[in-house]
Amino acid sequence: MGWADYLQLAGIPIPIYMASEMLITLFQHIITLGVYLFAGIFIFGMQMPGHPNYLAAFLAVFLGMLAVLGIGLISASMIWIAGAWHGEEPIQWAVSMLAGLISGVYFPPEVLPKPLLALSQFLPQTYALRMARLSILKGYSISQLSSDFLILLLFCVILLPLGIVILHYSLKLAKKRGSLMSF
């Protein structure tokens, strides 16, 4: 039996399970951020330069999460569409591999070779990280970050509904194939 079968036996709807998994992960990351901030401020004496714009940073992270949620829903649907099980899912693998390397997690994308820089423009993480970094380190406002903001908003408007539609389709497909009885 797969995890969806166990959820059905327990009477837990798949969307509730998925939402709870996402919230648990979100809370784990918030706790990790809190530990880093605590250590940075109270152990290492970290101080923010200038006047950080926390509202713009929060908006960047929130929009980035929504866009990546859309990618995650598309990735989750590959279980039933492509039969991707046990870490063989190609979308999650590709995005997680590329995001750290080319979206600005470890170094600015601008230092990448041209082909990788071009590829980084197709990841919402690139825009969310740049917006968050500039709003905190340089105090940029949303209007100063308008081009990144609009692109990130476009990612959200496209990826989130697309992810919902594809996941819904994949669940119907699973039900039709008999690998999932109801959802």
Report, as an integer, the average pLDDT of 83-92.
Answer: 73
pLDDT score, position 15: 81
Distance of CA 50 to the CA centre of its chain: 29
pLDDT score, position 93: 82
Helix (H/G/I), strand (E/B), else coil: 14: helix
Helix (H/G/I), strand (E/B), else coil: 32: helix
Burial class of residue 90 in the structure, from the number of CB atoms within 10 Å of its CB (0-12 exposed, 13-18 middle, 19+ buried): exposed
- Position 11 pLDDT exceeds 80: yes
- Position 82 pLDDT exceeds 90: no
Counting every residue written for the chain, the total comes to: 183
pLDDT score, position 85: 66
- Position 10 pLDDT exceeds 50: yes
pLDDT score, position 183: 47
Tens of pLDDT, residues 51-78: 899 999 999 999 999 999 999 899 888 8
Contacts 24+ apart (CB under 8 A), 20-28: 22/69, 22/72, 26/65
Tens of pLDDT, residues 131-177: 999 999 899 999 999 999 999 999 999 999 999 999 999 988 888 87
- Number of Cβ within 10 Å of residue 25's Cβ equals 11
As a dihedral over the C-alpha atoms of residue 42, residue 106, residue 32, residue 7, rounded to 10 degrees, the angle is 180
DSSP letter string, 103-166: SSSSS-GGGS-HHHHHHHTT-HHHHHHHHHHHHHHS---TTTTHHHHHHHHHHHHHHHHHHHHH
pTM of the model: 0.82
